[in-house]
Structure 1
Amino acid sequence: MNSDTAPLWQPGPDELTRSNLARFATAYGFDPADYATLHRWSISELDAFWNAVWDFTGVIGERGDIALERAGESEMFGARWYPQASLNFAENLLCGDDTRLAVIEAGEDGDLRRVTMGELRALVARAQSGLRRLGVARGDCVAGILPNNVDALVALLATASLGAVWASCSPDFGAPGIIDRAGQVNPKVLIAARSYVYNGKRFSLDENLALVMKGLRGLEHLVVTADEPSPLVACGVNCQTWKAMCDNAGATLTFERVPFAHPLYVMFTSGTTGLPKGIVHTTGGVLLQHRKEHMLHCDVRPGDVMSWYTNTAWMMYHWVISGLASHAAVVLYDGAPIVKRNDGLDHGVLWRVAEKAGVTHFGTSPRYLASLAEAQYEPGRLHDLSGLRSVLSAGAPVSAEQFDWLYRAVSKDMMFASISGGTEIIGCFVLGSPLHPVRRGEIACKGLGMAVDVLDERGASVIGRKGDLVCTEPFPSAPLTFWGENGNARFHAAYYEARPGIWTHGDLAEQTARDSVIIYGRTDTTLKPGGVRIGTAEIYRVVEAQPEIQDCIVFGRAIPDDEEVVLCVVMKDGYAMDDGFIARLRSEVRQKASPRHVPRHVYQVSAVPYTINGKRVEGAARSIVAGKPVKNLGSLANPDCLDEYAALRIEEHA
């Protein structure tokens, strides 16, 4: 067997018989060893499949008799799921015995705060009472500027319990970035921290809050999660502390049940190509998709502990907290993933938290994994990870070498799953499962209920060739609309215009003969030298393996009738880029990717532009080098670094 396709991990007897997915398959008449047939049923009998998910996962609420109403016989856009249903999102998450562990709060110091379900319900009841006093009711919008802690989770759940809509921003967003997001939804109440801690330093938010308050319309109340009120007493709205709002110790928790399609979250895109799009997600769609993904694909069981390094604005935060509905505990970590200490970088903070908390499902990103591998940090050797059953990664493609590193440095006996979907669907198109072997560089399977395919420019399904990742049948977590004027039209144009009746997601992908999937990056960053589409992930895989390189970014530059590949690299301390190094690098790319992947230009830079959520922004670099403006600098964590890229354009044309 080819070493590249030999499994790194295979399901054992427990996964094949006692996993949630195996039990689900058996309960509905399928052989757990025949996932292909189960998947075909899940996308051809949508009503039966999603009803089965509702029942098997124990969704709390009234389902009704109708699962799906289509807008047209072959139309995805406008499909209505469970039009007779009635449920509440918070009611489904705040489930189980009072004594069960619900939340583990952690920070850079490694100290843990454990919160039981009974304690969490009491906190949500008090916050619900306070929001109700402020006039928040079904359909109103509440926004948060909060770190990843218990207060943020309580605020979200209290909002959802009332049938109100939640929109969040991370506190490390600048004021323009917050206004671009929260300003779209005109919240009735804004709940904000006055400071946050990152890399051992405390950062004040008062100045940003002052600017944000000037930029929001229709705001009635500001609530600050601090012991003292914000100094913004003259901002024209009522201002109070979180403690004062939550002062009703005898509050009784109630749940306002809403229709399946009732708005739950407004999630925002990165906004690097313009104003961030406000994506409206539905109560039932979020819950049902997450219940399926957690229970069936991730095998989350009662008593498990789920963690994901994320901030409160990224969809993975919303994804992981839904684990409460599976009777799992969730870890809320606030701080840096790698902390600067007096004696150097501390790569182990998240793993010490995982060890103390007994994490079973550890969520991360390729960039973090690369940092650990570079530092030769081996979590499996340095920490007791005996409870770990799964590592999950999102945010970018995971290279084959990172698969190898995980099974060498973390654990040989775990399911690793690279998962891919997006903010647009608040879930996954492709991911892993306890019934699938793990092969390096591949995403194990298409999600149940997700009619995923890869189409070429003709619209033909292709195997073993790159094409557009699409979905050809409706699914519950498709957005309700885009927030704001002409929301439906903008939503349709974004995902259905390219192929009428088919969701075109915007990923360059390949499906294998065994129905696994490889993601090569976003199509808006896809390179096309000589008219052939290639993914940036293939170049990153080679370049990031070079020991001299700290970081890199690759993008295309238009030339007459063609496109050339541009690579910018950040060199590690002590290394310099010279002609010999560039020649060796190009040779590596030619041999390990293809001649078409070889960069025409290689430049040394001091930094790579990233979003606040930690994603490379190839589009920003490409625009600057082409002499075009970057439309939304507020979405970047380090916009100043783009000055270097502007100089590259001057250098090229000098």
Structure 2
Amino acid sequence: MMKKQNNVLDLNILWQPNENWISQSNLKGFSEQVGFPLFPYERLHRWSITHPEEFWSGVWDFAKIIGEKGKKVFIPPTDDGILGAQWFPGAQLNFAENVLRGEEEDIAVIVAGEDGTTSHYSLRELRSKVAKAQEGLRNLGVRSGDRVAGVVTNGIESLVALLATTSLGAVWTSCSPDFGSQGIIDRLGQVQPKVLITVLEYQYNGKHFDIRDNIRAISEVLDEVSAIVTLTEGDDFLKNQSKHVLNWNQLCKNGPFIPEFTRVPFNHPLYILYTSGTTGLPKAIVHSVGGTLIQHVKEHQLHCDIKHGDILFWYTNTAWMMYPWLISGLASGAAILLYDGSPLPKDNIGVLWEIAEKVGVTHFGTSPKYLETLQKASYSVGQEHNLSQLRSVLSCGAPLSAEQYDWVYDYIKKDILLASISGGTEIIGCFVMGSPVHPVRRGEITCKALGMAVDVFDEKDVSVLHQKGDLVCTKPFPSMPLTFWGEDGDERYYSSYFTKRPGIWTHGDLAEQTDEQSIIIYGRADTTLNPGGVRIGTAEIYRVLEQIPEIEDSLVFGLPNAGDEEIVLCVVLKDRELDSDLADVIRNNVRKKASPRHVPRRIYSVNEVPYTINGKKVEGAARSTVLGQQVKNKGSLHNPNSLLEYISLLERSFV
């Protein structure tokens, strides 16, 4: 769908909002409230980062955040860097109080599973459940600042446990039950939770999984846990443990119908999230109540245009940052859809869209890998389903290729806002994202998020256009981590993001910014390839490989070779063997659609590509394995055994 901009045909524009869409947008309403023009957006963005007091105070007011705002909004750092800023130092608020707002009969939560069945919960029902769980946790001694940990699936009990925890001013942290016992210990063992809430079994892709042995192993190590709450009734598998064990119904058997809310300072801890890296123990990142809430309502309302009555969905597990991001949608008046199970169950790959059609999802959050799978299966979403309520498709976790932009508009829906967004666990939000007032350009992330001083720097710390560089942030923002939990947390936090450029957040993404101030992400900087000294993002190669039908999956990394680096490509093929003919097709496509420098020197056929539990390819773990180096945190991997065939990769012949 080509559009004209200033009477010039712009072939990259796939969609743009009409005047009604713009005039009815939250972003338009916000600009009118703060008295600053919406267009040009770049000027509004510049105001949002040069006048942080006015901007973030405006977000608080526009989102109608419940709590005491305080007289001061922002106290800048004492030096020229971005560390040490104080946000809303006099504020008092509670996260759960803001999430549980609205009319009693409003639908708040929809829960669905692989069979497509759904359950609905009103705000009144959700508040009542939270009140009972709150009383149960209080009786177990949970107080403000304590940690409550969950090994839980994405269901109603998990949400209630999280909100009950935060209503008390306590801190929530969680893992997905498909983590191995060591992966859970590596995370929860760092933060000494007082209470552990856990499933004992779960279903995924039609299969039943029993994790009792894992929970036994965990309970023996987590010395600070005084009580374990199981989500399976009548199970006495821990009856010989010294810890108090009860089930969910016992926890919630008493209590009022209305929860109480303990208000805390803006920078009080809310969540502890974990990175999924494989180079050491996961970083335990502490996020604040106020920073998380104000960042999320800004992103939901101003950038995603979420309004009261909308239904927000993101396919996620309870270990990924998109889980708390989804939950915060309640604070903007939306209902949220919680889905537990495989996004692509073997007997019905379209189940998520069936559910979206059934319940009227307005904002559908997913990943490039999921869209790629549907594309290769020739699943025409728009023909199979009535998506009249759908207004936006959002994607994150990896760069969304230009061809995938085309596919979404051709095969899902033409009149929607497609937003590729990028940020991270480290900021529990986004640096760059979509907008309801911008055109969508293929292969580009639409704009820099308001309030985020995003730039792209070269190796000399100079801002560059049309050139690959490091994605950075040069000014403070409210959702910066409080610290990393544990000993030397502040030092480890600093070394992760500020060693390369003191006082400037270096995020770790290889990126490019355009004249329109849109952003192209090429992948993680630590997996950037450097053949001949030229920086190449792995996403540039994946984009080409996704268009070759014979390739089911792929992995790209670099290996040292005589002072230079050569590109290694591993492919998972379907219905054929790797031979010189297919290798020629791959190399010719990469040469033509990327560049000669992108062409892999070695191509291997493998059975599997390693992924994190959150669904991200792990180039670094494969590279380390090939080089004979230890992968320290295999608990972060969804399929750690996939690395076994990489041990002897260099001993095999390549094509």
Match of 2:56 among 47, 50, 56: 50
Could you tell me which amino acid in structure 1 is paired with residue 273 of structure 2? M
Match of 2:229 among 223, 226, 229: 223
The equivalent of 2:276 in structure 1 is 270
CA offset at residue 271 of structure 1? Answer: 3.2
- What are the Cα deviations for residues 579-623 of structure 1, in whole angstroms up to 9, with x where unaligned? 121122111101110111110110000000011111100011000
The equivalent of 2:465 in structure 1 is 463
The equivalent of 2:612 in structure 1 is 611
In the alignment, does 2:327 pair up with 1:326? no
The equivalent of 1:358 in structure 2 is 360
CA offset at residue 357 of structure 1? Answer: 1.1
Does the CA-based 8 Å contact 1:625-1:648 persist in structure 2? yes
CA offset at residue 652 of structure 1? Answer: 7.1
Match of 1:133 among 139, 151, 156: 139
- What are the Cα deviations for residues 543-562 of structure 1, in whole angstroms up to 9, with x where unaligned? 12101101000001012211
CA offset at residue 36 of structure 1? Answer: 1.0
1:118-129 pair list within 5 angstroms: 118-129=124-135
- What are the Cα deviations for residues 225-262 of structure 1, in whole angstroms up to 9, with x where unaligned? 11123411122200000100100153541000000000
CA offset at residue 632 of structure 1? Answer: 1.0
CA–CA separation in structure 2 for the residues paired with 1:185 and 1:385: 43
CA offset at residue 87 of structure 1? Answer: 0.3
Match of 2:402 among 400, 403, 425: 400
CA offset at residue 650 of structure 1? Answer: 3.0
Does the CA-based 8 Å contact 2:127-2:257 persist in structure 1? no
The equivalent of 1:602 in structure 2 is 603
CA offset at residue 217 of structure 1? Answer: 2.0
Match of 2:32 among 20, 26, 30: 26
CA–CA separation in structure 2 for the residues paired with 1:300 and 1:67: 25
Match of 2:216 among 210, 232, 235: 210
CA offset at residue 446 of structure 1? Answer: 0.1
Q: Secondary structure at the match of 2:228?
A: strand
CA offset at residue 79 of structure 1? Answer: 1.4
CA offset at residue 640 of structure 1? Answer: 1.0
The equivalent of 1:584 in structure 2 is 585
Does the CA-based 8 Å contact 1:206-1:230 persist in structure 2? no
In the alignment, does 2:108 pair up with 1:102? yes
The equivalent of 2:345 in structure 1 is 339
CA–CA separation in structure 1 for the residues paired with 2:35 and 2:144: 41
CA–CA separation in structure 1 for the residues paired with 2:235 and 2:258: 26
Match of 1:560 among 538, 558, 562: 562
The equivalent of 2:502 in structure 1 is 500
Alignment size in residue pairs: 648
Q: Which has the larger displacement, 290-299 or 627-636?
A: 627-636
- What are the Cα deviations for residues 25-50 of structure 1, in whole angstroms up to 9, with x where unaligned? 12222333321111010010011100
Change in CA separation of 1:248 and 1:512 when aligned onto 2, cut-off 3 Å: same
- What are the Cα deviations for residues 9-60 of structure 1, in whole angstroms up to 9, with x where unaligned? 1011222211000111122223333211110100100111000000111111
Match of 1:164 among 161, 170, 177: 170
The equivalent of 2:426 in structure 1 is 424
1:497-576 pair list within 5 angstroms: 497-572=499-574, 574-576=575-577
The equivalent of 2:90 in structure 1 is 84
Q: Secondary structure at the match of 2:13?
A: coil
Match of 2:248 among 228, 231, 242: 242
Does the CA-based 8 Å contact 1:16-1:32 persist in structure 2? no
Match of 2:18 among 8, 12, 15: 12
Does the CA-based 8 Å contact 2:135-2:255 persist in structure 1? no
Could you tell me which amino acid in structure 1 is paired with residue 588 of structure 2? S
Q: Secondary structure at the match of 1:213?
A: helix
CA offset at residue 194 of structure 1? Answer: 1.1
Q: Secondary structure at the match of 1:301?
A: coil
Change in CA separation of 1:230 and 1:413 when aligned onto 2, cut-off 3 Å: farther
Does the CA-based 8 Å contact 1:289-1:476 persist in structure 2? yes
In the alignment, does 2:175 pair up with 1:173? no
Does the CA-based 8 Å contact 1:365-1:396 persist in structure 2? yes
CA–CA separation in structure 1 for the residues paired with 2:189 and 2:294: 29
Q: Which has the larger displacement, 633-642 or 482-491?
A: 633-642
The equivalent of 2:290 in structure 1 is 284
- What are the Cα deviations for residues 182-205 of structure 1, in whole angstroms up to 9, with x where unaligned? 111110000001111101112111
CA–CA separation in structure 2 for the residues paired with 1:28 and 1:338: 44
The equivalent of 2:630 in structure 1 is 629
CA–CA separation in structure 2 for the residues paired with 1:229 and 1:95: 35
CA–CA separation in structure 1 for the residues paired with 2:380 and 2:20: 27
Q: Secondary structure at the match of 1:202?
A: strand
Could you tell me which amino acid in structure 1 is paired with residue 461 of structure 2? G
In the alignment, does 2:201 pair up with 1:200? no
CA–CA separation in structure 2 for the residues paired with 1:649 and 1:467: 31
Could you tell me which amino acid in structure 2 is paired with residue 323 of structure 1? G
CA offset at residue 526 of structure 1? Answer: 0.5
CA–CA separation in structure 1 for the residues paired with 2:503 and 2:651: 44
Q: Secondary structure at the match of 1:340?
A: coil
Please report the TM-score for the alignment, with normalisation by the length of structure 2.
0.98
- What are the Cα deviations for residues 352-376 of structure 1, in whole angstroms up to 9, with x where unaligned? 1101111000000000000000011
Could you tell me which amino acid in structure 2 is paired with residue 618 of structure 1? E
CA–CA separation in structure 1 for the residues paired with 2:258 and 2:124: 12
Does the CA-based 8 Å contact 1:431-1:444 persist in structure 2? yes
Q: Secondary structure at the match of 1:185?
A: coil
Does the CA-based 8 Å contact 1:60-1:91 persist in structure 2? yes
Q: Secondary structure at the match of 2:499?
A: coil
Please report the TM-score for the alignment, with normalisation by the length of structure 1.
0.98
Match of 2:41 among 11, 35, 45: 35
Does the CA-based 8 Å contact 1:621-1:642 persist in structure 2? yes
Does the CA-based 8 Å contact 1:570-1:607 persist in structure 2? yes
In the alignment, does 2:260 pair up with 1:259? no
In structure 2, list runs of 5 or more residues that go unmatched: none
Instruction: List structure 1 segments (4+ residues) > 4 angstroms apart after TM superposition.
Output: 1-5
CA–CA separation in structure 1 for the residues paired with 2:78 and 2:437: 35
CA–CA separation in structure 2 for the residues paired with 1:437 and 1:130: 50
CA–CA separation in structure 2 for the residues paired with 1:544 and 1:271: 25
